Chains A and B, each alone.
Chain A
Amino acid sequence: MAYLDNSATTETDPAVISVMADVMKKIYGNPSSLHGIGVKAERLMEQARKVVADALSCLPHEIVFTSGGTEANNMVIRGVAEAYHHRGNHMITSPIEHPSVYHVFQYLKQKGWKITELPVDSSGRVNPADVETALTDETVLVSVMHVNNEVGTIQPVEEIGNRLKKYPKVMFHVDAVQSFGKIPLHPSRSHIDFLTISGHKLHGPKGIGCLYKRKNLTLPSLLLGGGQERGLRSGTENLPAIAGLAKAVLLAKEAEETFYQKYQTWKEMILTRIENELTGVKINGDIDDGGAPYILNLSFPGLKSEVIVHALEKEQVYVSSKSACSSKKEEPSRVLKAMGLTDQEALGSIRISMGRMNVEEDIKQCCDVLVRTIPALQKVMKVHKR
């Protein structure tokens, strides 16, 4: 079995599971309770917060635990819209964002906000100079993701941050869900004001994520109630998941460099096999240093993504069409379309995404199955005769 859909979600690391089970058994207190059992839970939570803060080289109180990436993204964009509309009514984003960013901007557009969608080049990258050109006196927020979830292109967020430094009133949000724990990014050094991360993309639990919020910036709360997380996110804290996230972060940090190299080797391995043994294939995104080595997006014009996914599944190779969150709709991916792909190319794309639990054998199996299955499908669909 080769699970190569790690950008959708990952297999939970057994060490994370045992931390979580331990916490559920032993540290069940409510961090808000006054007594010692509550204090203990609170201390554990704060230690976990410090682990995440250290990974981002930021302060513990700049970390807000949320239910995941979607909540953190909503919290920032909707929060900024609510709290800073007196400063202006313009925001800037890219057309290749995750749905939890993209759809919030669509919603704000309906509410009367002016939203600039920056163009991307054929590898799906935003040009930092375009960000600066798009700024107006009304601009309050720029939101650009770090690593794109569909094609893996690394966005120049550090350079965008450096350019935005000159505009202290413009806030900068980065959705780093696909890069955190794999590619280092330090929000304070890159002038990033908000940064989103999620637990289950790095072999941690689902239902937990967090938002880095630069100190001294205020955001309104989406959820009102007991005022947890410094009033930013009410609701009893999900302590087992928070502890699990901290464990996952530590494990990811340990493995970061070795795995980055492994992913590079593996990606090259797949690319070489494909180029030598397949025809009618287009490689999307950036296959050099500008792309995350653990995500690979391929188009087979004339085939349907869904069919490829199932054909590979039959051979126990698990990949994805578009991103998991939008793959149920039968439409060409808007990300691939923004990169200039034709409908045919976009409708026939699959994503291979690697994780820490993968071994070289998985990659070999995937290559073998691809070079066996794709030509068969292409023959049935008469791809080369058209």
Chain B
Amino acid sequence: MKANCILLRYGELALKGKNKKEFENRLVKNIREKLKQFPGCEVTRVHGRIFVELKEHHSEPVMEACSEVFGLVGISPAIRTEKDWEKIKQAALAITEEQGERIQTFKVNSKRADKKFPIRSLEMNHRLGGFLLGKLSHLRVDVHHPDMTLSVEVRSTHAYVYGNSLPGLGGLPVGVSGRVMLLLSGGIDSPVAGYLALKRGAELQAVHFHSFPFTSERAKQKVIDLARILTRFGGHIRLHVVPFTDIQTEINRHCYESYTITVMRRIMVRIAERIADRNKALALVTGESLGQVASQTLESMRTINAVTTMPILRPLIGMDKQEIMDISKRINTYETSILPYEDCCTVFLPKAPKTRPDREVAERLEARLDLERLIQEAVDGTEVIDLRPEQEEEFSCF
């Protein structure tokens, strides 16, 4: 007997009162979207849990896909069987045997939702426990700290048998918290910030500033690749690539070298805000962490933040570099992030950037630029790239 369905559990959602229904619907929709790659898989929600019917698919790849959906806290392969005592026993044996010698102790936790089923849950616990002990000699029962809890649920149509669950990603289903605009460079931090925004249920769009020939086609491609990796968690992601060459050239011509970063970032925020407005995003997201580099001192943040009234979310604010790197490795953006291409933040890096930039100085310097025209041209020239998890390949030769 092999797992023929997957049981998915969601945690925090259960607490969300009135919005519960909306959250649950969104979660199921996201799972269906994610499992589109497995034709025939059916997703159904019953009593605070979600079942995926595997049909002819193997459990592992489907479980892997589910482990990339925010809002789930537990994923277990399960056997759905008829409400027949012999079949339930065989399913319990199959689930336990599958674990091999990895588990030494277990307990049985039965639930009898269908009260017409003749065996009561306590009795079912005893009988199944005894049956398994007889079949598998290395096992012992431990009701307090078992290596595996074998769960049996007898419901109105079927019985479900499952063992330990893999942890899900947690968080909230993507899409329940509204839309945000991520400032995506090619570095390690911003993709992680985007991931964390997704984790809290935000729907993600991203903006990237491209300064050809100062930054290369490869740098742009790298950002596209990073955004595409995030689609595994976020579904559809729209990437806005802003032509930034003219603005950078103008900044370099007219501003003090020590202020170029400050002015550049103030302009980036203004452009991102406009693109966010146009796309009905309610907040900006950046990969800033406090004190990491010159532009991330509090003074600098205040000076940059002053150009917008839109909230700027900084999910990495409390994290050390190592923690950020750990997440980026886990979500597989790290290997792409470390590819060594110049990005817009490194090309014009001044020797001594101002660590405590002054708002008034920044404003005075910006007055030397034809700011409104530059920003409008950049926004109008923005290239929009829609990224989806299932992407058409670039070359058709194979």
Contacts and interface: CB of A to CB of B under 8 A. Distances in A.
B60 A22 contact: no
Contact of B329 (A34, A48, A51, A216): A216
Contacts of A47: 393-395
Contacts of A23: 397
A247 B398 contact: yes
Interface SS of chain A: helix
B398 A243 contact: yes
Interface in B321-336: 329, 332, 335
A43 B394 contact: yes
Contacts of A216: 329
A44 B395 CA distance: 7
A246 interface: yes
B91 to A, nearest CB: 22
Contacts, number: 39
A251 to B, nearest CB: 9
A61 interface: yes
A181 to B, nearest CB: 14
B216 interface: yes
Interface residues of B, number: 15
Contacts of B17: none
Interface of B: 60-61, 100, 216-218, 221, 329, 332, 335, 393-395, 397-398
Nearest to A43: B394
Contact of B221 (A43, A57, A186, A246): A43
Contacts of A250: 398
Contact of B335 (A22, A59, A243): A59
B335 A215 contact: yes
13 contacts: A34-B216, A39-B217, A39-B221, A43-B394, A44-B394, A44-B397, A47-B393, A47-B394, A47-B395, A59-B332, A216-B329, A243-B397, A247-B397
Contacts of B335: 59, 61, 215
Nearest to A15: B398
Contact of B398 (A59, A61, A246): A246
Nearest to A166: B102
Contact of B397 (A19, A36, A42, A57): A19
Contacts of A59: 332, 335
A51 B216 contact: no
A310 interface: no
B395 A189 contact: no
B60 A189 contact: yes
Contacts of A19: 397-398
Contacts of A162: 100
Given A34-B218, A243-B398, 12 more contacts: A39-B217, A44-B394, A44-B397, A47-B395, A48-B398, A51-B398, A59-B332, A61-B335, A186-B60, A189-B60, A215-B335, A247-B398
B216 A43 contact: no
